[in-house]
Chains A and B, each alone.
Chain A
Amino acid sequence: MTERDGTPPDGSRRDALPDTEGRREPGEAPVDGVVLSEEQRRRRRSRSVAIAVVLGALCVLFYVVTIVKLGPAVLIRPL
């Protein structure tokens, strides 16, 4: 049990955490301990969009550079 495998430092597990809000029924799925605020959710979304844009741009860049490096000869091929 370490911090790296997702277990909290005190050795407890997320699904063993007490239901502090008292809404959990026996047998019901465990409530996760981390709830994002609206601001955190909004910022995570903007980070995700930025990563998507960067990855898309990299794909375009690699495609264009490949065409440039291969040159017009890439179109000359036996059919």
Chain B
Amino acid sequence: MSNAVEIRWHGRGGQGAKTASLLLADAAFNTGKYVQGFPEYGPERMGAPITAYNRISDEKITVHSNIYNPQFVVVVDDSLLESVDVTKGLKEDGAIIINTTKSPEEIKSLLKGYSGRIFTIDARKISMECLGKYFPNTPMLAAVVVVSKVMPVEDFIKDMEESYAHKFASKPQVIEGNMAALRRSVTEVRSI
């Protein structure tokens, strides 16, 4: 457990943060890791703030609590920055990854004194251009793999391609858009 990577996801109900955490667990599992992917359950409804978690480790994981001191935080919806303390417990040597179009100055002022690394990505733009719909979780999934380095990016892309081929066997038209979104996201993560 001591070498486990711990990730916390903040999103809104319907944006796919939970699904993204499960997909990340899947991808890391396929590279031979021990994984946990789980949401914090409550009375979920569309648009309400939700939290999901990942632990990824080379050793068996036995802890079953929520994650209070993550290495990485993923914010799928930047409107949460005003209402949720997203950097709470975030390790100083960790990083936060935010889906936003806001300027670095604006983001920094919203993160009230957080001094760790900050990454941003415009998941809306990527999703709209690649998928024609707003599914921010696919770009955010790619972004967290790039920033956290939990697995080589090439392995992740290959694994996702296989996973989509299986998952969307009955609607192959969506595979191409999702893969394009993943590939673009890998190159469009910005450090600020």
Are both chains from one complex?
no
Chain A residues engaging chain B, CB cutoff 8 angstroms: none
Chain B residues engaging chain A, CB cutoff 8 angstroms: none
